[in-house]
């Protein structure tokens, strides 16, 4: 008789990271149950054989009915753009609380992986960073539950919309950066992040009640010259965007987004994140526990990306 494959409940499965993660899970033989919005029709961003479960991310009662049938929960939902703290709160804080409450009702709760962000290490910088920090804090108090937090740095790869414009511009020979020239940045390819999650699922020893900030294995991260070298083989021009100009653009964006009703990415908080001198990770603890090693540094990741992207 064939064993039933382990079933993983994934929130945020329809997003940039979630979609690559779902593909990786399916490839590894997991049965994926993906949370979709309660009013969603069949979501075509997900593969046809993935079970779609319409549920509100804050509905503790419904979640409590779903999680016992899962061998693990991966909380990948998140708000990455918004005007105010309230815009980030539902997916980054309230949904995390609801999932924990649901898990708390289960006799033997399945392990939960929270995809947080390196931004959570600097909660004072922006509403986004604070919301990711607050989401993490909800887990830290739950010693009876088997949770793990992964804090990725900036993630790029197929399907990404945030870093792609910057990488495309470098590809065309212009590297316009907001942070200081010697800023140190860790990066991570989305497929290495997905592989880290599958490594967590099958880790030989449990790694619960722990937080890991993981990157592509480039020790000390990249400065802007190294980013240019990796993406454009040295043949590029660098300009530093004046912070005052970025702040004006961010404030105008806040105003226009209020008038037009969209969630802005460039905000004064995002400018503070972009200009923060150091966003660095260290894989050693997570690799030692899970056996995971990243495969794609920026040079390889960018080459792959631009083999398909125009
Ligand atoms: N991208 C990065 O560079 C990066 C770096 C570090 C950490 N992260 C974290 O990784 C996670 C995923 O990021 P991403 O880049 O994949 O973002 P994304 O493309 O914007 O996807 C966000 C996902 O969360 C879901 N979601 C958002 N608000 C929701 C709500 N109120 N109820 C239910 N679902 C909701 C979205 O569902 P819909 O499709 O239905 O809107 C989507 O599936 C986030 O937690 C983010 O903080 C991302």
Q: Is residue 205 part of a domain?
A: yes
At 16-61, the pLDDT tens digits run: 999 999 999 999 999 999 999 999 788 899 999 899 999 999 999 9
Atom 36 of ligand 1 has which residue's CA nearest to it? 12
- If you measure from the C-alpha of residue 234 to the centroid of ligand 1, how many angstroms do you get, rounded to a whole number? 33
Tell me if 76 CB under 6 Å of ligand 1: yes
Q: Is residue 182 part of a domain?
A: no
Backbone angles phi, psi at 176, to 5 degrees: -105, 115
The mean predicted confidence, pLDDT, of the chain is 93
- If you measure from the C-alpha of residue 87 to the centroid of ligand 1, how many angstroms do you get, rounded to a whole number? 13
What per-residue confidence (pLDDT) applies to 309?
57
- If you measure from the C-alpha of residue 85 to the centroid of ligand 1, how many angstroms do you get, rounded to a whole number? 16
- The whole-angstrom separation of Cα 174 and Cα 168 is 9
- The whole-angstrom separation of Cα 230 and Cα 236 is 11
Q: Residue 3: pLDDT band by 50, 70, 90 thresholds?
A: low
- What's the angle, vertex CA 224, arms to CA 222 and CA 230, rounded to 5? 65
Q: Is residue 289 part of a domain?
A: yes
At a CB cut-off of 8 Å and minimum separation 6, what does 86 contact? none
State yes or no: pLDDT of 256 exceeds 90: no
Q: Is residue 51 part of a domain?
A: yes
Map tokens 């929960």 to a residue.
73
Q: Is residue 67 part of a domain?
A: yes
- Full residue range of the structural domain in which residue 133 is found: 7-160+188-216+280-294
What per-residue confidence (pLDDT) applies to 173?
95
CATH of the domain at 205: 3.40.50.720
State yes or no: pLDDT of 1 exceeds 50: no
Q: What SS3 state is found at 11?
A: strand
At 75-128, the pLDDT tens digits run: 999 999 988 899 999 999 999 999 999 999 999 999 999 999 999 999 999 999
> How many domains does one find in the chain?
1
Q: Is residue 275 part of a domain?
A: no
Tell me if 152 CB under 6 Å of ligand 1: yes
Tell me if 17 CB under 6 Å of ligand 1: yes
Q: Is residue 304 part of a domain?
A: no
Q: Is residue 41 part of a domain?
A: yes
What per-residue confidence (pLDDT) applies to 40?
78
């Amino acid at each position: 008789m064939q064993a039933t494959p382990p079933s993983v409940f994934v929130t945020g499965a329809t997003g940039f990271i979630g979609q690559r993660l779902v593909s990786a899970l399916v490839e590894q033989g997991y049965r994926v149950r993906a949370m979709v919005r309660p009013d969603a029709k069949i979501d075509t961003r997900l593969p046809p054989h993935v079970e779609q479960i319409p549920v509100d991310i804050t509905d503790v009662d419904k979640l409590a009915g779903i999680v016992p049938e899962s061998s693990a929960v991966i909380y990948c939902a998140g708000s990455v753009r918004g005007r105010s703290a309230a815009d980030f709160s539902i997916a980054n804080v309230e949904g995390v609380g609801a999932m924990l409450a649901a898990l708390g009702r289960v006799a033997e709760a399945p392990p939960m992986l929270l995809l947080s962000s390196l931004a959570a290490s600097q909660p004072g910088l922006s509403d986004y960073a604070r919301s990711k920090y607050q989401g993490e804090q909800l887990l830290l108090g739950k010693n009876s539950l088997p949770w793990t937090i992964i804090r990725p740095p900036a993630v790029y790869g197929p399907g990404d919309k945030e870093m792609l414009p910057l990488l495309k511009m470098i590809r065309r020979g212009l590297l316009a950066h907001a942070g200081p020239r010697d800023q140190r940045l860790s990066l991570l390819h989305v497929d290495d992040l997905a592989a880290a999650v599958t490594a967590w699922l099958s880790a030989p020893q449990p790694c619960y009640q722990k937080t890991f900030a993981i990157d592509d294995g480039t020790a000390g991260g990249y400065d802007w010259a190294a980013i240019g070298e990796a993406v454009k083989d040295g043949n590029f021009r660098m300009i530093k965007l004046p912070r005052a100009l970025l702040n004006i653009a961010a404030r105008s964006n806040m105003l226009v987004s209020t008038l037009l009703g969209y969630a802005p990415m460039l905000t004064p908080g995002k400018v503070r994140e972009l200009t923060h001198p150091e966003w660095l990770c260290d894989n050693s603890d997570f690799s030692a526990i899970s056996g995971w090693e990243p495969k794609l540094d920026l040079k390889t990741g960018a080459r792959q990306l631009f083999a398909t992207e125009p």
